[in-house]
Amino acid sequence: MVNMHTIKNKNTNKILLILILGIYFYLCVLMLKICLAYFPWQDDNNFLALKQDVVTTQPWRFAFQVHVLVSSLLLIAGFTQFFSQIRQKFPKIHRYSGWLYIISVFIFALPSGFIMAFSAAGGWQTKLCFILLSILWGVSTFIALYKIIKKDWLAHHDWMIRSFALALSALSLRTWKIILYNLQPYFDWLTPVHIYQLEAWLGWVINLIIAEVIILKLHQNKKP
């Protein structure tokens, strides 16, 4: 009876893992499709049509191009860090993809995102949101790097979860956008500006809360 229960739990976990992987890779492909849509470059393409005040100025334009090019690669590299199978069977892939993630954050994604934050639409609320996101993402990634150098594996894992949760805001922000626009007919106050402000904050705050819950659960499971 115990064995059947264990087998049932393992099968459920496998199905859940496959479902999560399927959703994640679908979102990554969608993200890649969105990013590639900006090339060849046109100043009025998609999101850029709303950024006519800064789209031709530097460093905003260069920052946006860098951010778009790196985002999908960063998400894929970061995701590989959380599979024990990859870490145990292919330690070099785990190590190299981890360095790829950290380098991509510090050299490309973080600086470009920080530059773009100061020109974010939606008023000071949205600017503050993206500035805080950039700071927290940088701090969590730096601590994750520091902990792995010190060989504090557990703390490194915790801070990588936080860092990647913030990186996933690129996907969750767009998911919240879809949800909020579907809710718009039921709430008169839910204007496009309010939707943008809400999706910006929900895109990373909820991720960070979920990350803390995951970390708490992992620590509880490791207790004797």
pLDDT at 65: 86
Identify the residue with better confidence: 161 or 17. Answer: 161
* Mean pLDDT of the 183-207 span: 92
Would residue 152 be called left, alpha or beta, if left means φ above 0 and alpha means ψ between -120 and 50 degrees? beta
Q: What percent of the chain has pLDDT over 70?
A: 88
Question: Which pTM value belongs to this model?
Answer: 0.83
Query: Of the spans 79-88, 170-179, 181-190, 206-215, which averages the highest pLDDT?
Result: 206-215
Integer Cα distance of 162 and 185 in angstroms: 34
pLDDT at 6: 57
Residue 1 has pLDDT above 70, yes or no: no
pLDDT at 2: 45
